[in-house]
Homo-oligomer: A and B are copies of this chain.
Amino acid sequence: MSHDPYAIRPGERAVTLPDRVDAHLVFIGRIHTPFTMRAECPRQGRQDGPLCRIEIDAPWREGLKGLEGFAQAEVLYWMHQARRDLVLQSPKHNGETMGTFALRSPVRPNPISTSRVAIVAIGEGWVDVRGLDCLDGTPLIDLKPEHCAFSPPRN
């Protein structure tokens, strides 16, 4: 049975993306997960989910110094297979039409996903975590201590 993941569902609306580049990203590594097809990805990661490895590219590896002091991290990654032009979406699981900003779908003008993960182990240029939901090979954008865990000094 063929299935086009890019097909527009009833109620969905596509808009014309501005012909403009406002900022650029540099991928800083890759994420390795057991999910090799979109249909296998959970709708949201769980901290009792499978072990995943975040690999940091060589120039940025020193940036991990001190991360071992945190139990949880926030991971930002690029949903490279997602379309960017839907402003209304009808998720498959219920068919209800919602605005893109009322969903955590990968389909959005800037297809960046964020996950809160449990840090399991850290090595030279890698971090093993649980809580991701993305395809194997997903480009990494950022990694930082999770809000809750990070207690800034009083301002």
Question: What distance in Å separates the Cβ of A47 from its nearest Cβ neighbour in chain B?
Answer: 11
Question: Quick check: is A93 within 8 A (CB to CB) of the other chain?
Answer: yes
Given contacts A23-B25, A44-B150, contact A104 B144 (CB under 8 A): yes
Chain B residues with Cβ under 8 A from A67's Cβ? 99, 101-102
Question: Quick check: is A128 within 8 A (CB to CB) of the other chain?
Answer: no
Chain B residues with Cβ under 8 A from A153's Cβ? 43, 93-94
Given contacts A25-B25, A26-B21, A62-B87, contact A147 B101 (CB under 8 A): no
Given contacts A64-B101, A87-B62, A110-B142, contact A27 B16 (CB under 8 A): no
Given contacts A15-B60, A104-B145, A110-B142, contact A99 B65 (CB under 8 A): yes
Q: Identify the 7 closest CB pairs spanning chains A and B, nearest first.
A: A66-B102, A65-B99, A66-B98, A63-B100, A43-B152, A63-B99, A22-B27
